[in-house]
Amino acid sequence: MGRITIPQLFAIFLLSTGLSNHVIVIPILLECAGRDAWISVIIGYFLILVFSLLILYISRRCQSECLFDWITSNYSKVLSVIIAVLFAIFLLVTGWISLRETVMWTNETYLMNTPVFFIALFIVGASLYISYGKLNIIAICAGVLLPLVVLLGIFVAIGTIPDKDYHLITPVLVENGWLDVFRGSSFAFGSAIELFLIVMLQHQVTKELKFRHLIFLVIFLSMLTIGPLLGSIAIFGAGEAARLRYPAFFQWRILGFGNYFNHLDFLSIYQWMSGNFIRLAIILYLITQAFSIKRKGMRLVIQLSICILYILMIIVPISDKQFLMFLNHYYYLYSSIFGVSIIIFLALLIKMSKNKVSNHAQK
């Protein structure tokens, strides 16, 4: 089965979810809540921490059994397939968003004259290469990539200190009210809601997941959002940062040492590509796992078909404005609704199953 350890599970989610909350959601937060966006992040991640209690409840009740196998044995195969389809749709949309954002960023920054088709082809090809194997292959790759990603993040945070003025973060709650802050918190919550995917992997983790593990994961993910968010405001100001398409990336653009060591933004390519590489790989893996497809050949065919679909969708002419409107008005909102609804529903299934067992024992 290729079971993984809890640190390996965290490495996967820190790279995968970290791409979303470190890169994709920050421009939306800045546009929505401005200099008060960091308050939105704190509120959003506090809600995620509360929400993680339900994730933990489901994980412990299913124990070492696959979620979909548990639903099949306790309820019906039909219900298991319906839930698997819902998970697959969510994963498909999430993967497309990640790929499109990465391809567009690549095309607009350092491969301007390269067709997006070829950029997407190489990105999905790399992720496909490790996704049709065992989960521990993805986990090992994540464990190798993550340390340097973290070190580069610390490097850019420290290296840009001379350019930062944290007075620009104040005044608080003057330009934006609590309504904007709470709206921003919905985006922060939506960017981290995919933590509920842990329930699809819990049966492949060697040790039982505990609440302190989730606290650590949520805190680390919140730091991945707040760090570049505050850095963008402190360097560019709230107004200018909100106008930047990739605020976290532009912090790399200003990083340099003396007069001779500049243009260090190429290091950000490693960070971004590492996150997208693991993100797409785990998405492809989970889609086939949702339908309990064991045969390697069949899994490869399905994942290859998904990759071809992604490439075709990348070619579709969608403007950046339309893409951001989709994220702003639909994706994060409906992701939050789906994530909360599916976890509550699964928790209710487990609760009803437990009650049925208790009533049967009493008889």
Q: Taking 80 as the threshold, does the pLDDT of residue 362 lie above it?
A: no
Rg (CA), the chain: 21
CA end-to-end span of the chain, whole Å?
Answer: 38
Query: Is residue 95's pLDDT more than 90?
Result: yes
Residue 184 lies in a domain: yes
Residue 144 lies in a domain: yes
312 found inside a domain? yes
Domain that holds residue 219: 6-362
pLDDT at 358 over 60: no
The amino acid occupying position 71 is: I
* Residue length of the chain: 363
| Mean of the per-residue pLDDT values of the chain | 89
* Residue 359 confidence class, pLDDT cut points 50, 70, 90: very low
Instruction: With beta carbons less than 8 A apart as the criterion, state whether 22 and 228 touch.
Output: yes
pLDDT level of residue 170 (50, 70, 90 thresholds) = confident
The number of folded domains in the chain is 1
Q: Is the pLDDT of residue 149 over 90?
A: yes
> 320 lies in a domain?
yes
In a domain, 298, yes or no: yes
The answer to whether 226 touches 232, Cβ cutoff 8 Å, is: no
Tell me the mean pLDDT in the region 286-306. 90
1, part of any domain? no
In this predicted model, what pLDDT tens digit does every residue of 175-223 receive, in sequence order?
A: 788 899 999 999 999 999 999 999 999 889 988 889 999 999 999 999 9
The CATH number linked to 241 is 1.20.1740.10
User: Residue 258 above 90 pLDDT?
Assistant: no
C-alpha span between 136 and 123 (Å, rounded): 20
Q: Is residue 48 within 8 Å of residue 179, measured between CB atoms?
A: no
Residue 234 has pLDDT above 90, yes or no: yes
pLDDT tens digits for range 7-46: 999 999 999 998 888 888 999 999 888 899 999 999 999 9
Q: Considering only CA atoms, which of 35, 33, 327, 40 is closest in space to residue 180?
A: 33
pLDDT (tens digit, 9 = 90+) per residue, 58-67? 988 887 788 8
Q: What is the DSSP letter of 318?
A: -
Query: Angle of helix 296-315 relative to helix 77-109, nearest 10 degrees?
Result: 50
Closest CA to 213 of 323, 328, 53: 53
Give the contacts of 272 (CB within 8 A, at least 6 positions apart).
Answer: 19, 23, 102, 105, 249
β-pair partners for 4 = 205
Question: Mutual orientation of helices 135-159 and 6-19 as an angle, nearest 10°?
Answer: 60
Is residue 30 in a domain?
Answer: yes
Does 4 have pLDDT greater than 60?
yes
Q: What is the pLDDT of residue 267?
A: 87
**Contact (Cβ atoms closer than 8 angstroms) between residue 229 and residue 30:** yes
Distance between CA atoms of residues 294 and 300, nearest Å: 10
Q: What angle do CA 163, 164, 170 make, to 5 degrees?
A: 150
Query: Can you give the pLDDT at residue 65?
Result: 84
Percent of the chain with pLDDT over 90: 60
Whether residue 218 contacts residue 45, with contact meaning beta carbons closer than 8 Å, is answered with yes
Question: Is position 268 within any domain?
Answer: yes
**Residue 49: band (very low, low, confident or very high) from pLDDT cuts 50, 70, 90:** very high
d(CA 273, CA 268): 8
CA 194 – CA 178 distance, rounded (Å)? 25
What is the rounded distance in angstroms from the CA atom of residue 363 to the CA atom of residue 358? 9
Q: Among the residues of the chain, which ranges form H helices? A: 6-19, 26-33, 37-62, 67-74, 77-109, 116-131, 135-159, 178-192, 198-201, 211-236, 238-243, 247-253, 267-290, 296-315, 320-326, 332-362
Per-residue confidence (pLDDT) for residue 151, from 0 to 100: 93
What pLDDT digit, counting tens, does each position of 301-336 carry? 999 999 999 999 999 888 888 999 999 999 999 999
- pLDDT the model gives residue 354: 64
Q: How far is CA 290 from CA 106, 190, 346, 359, in A?
A: 31, 22, 15, 31
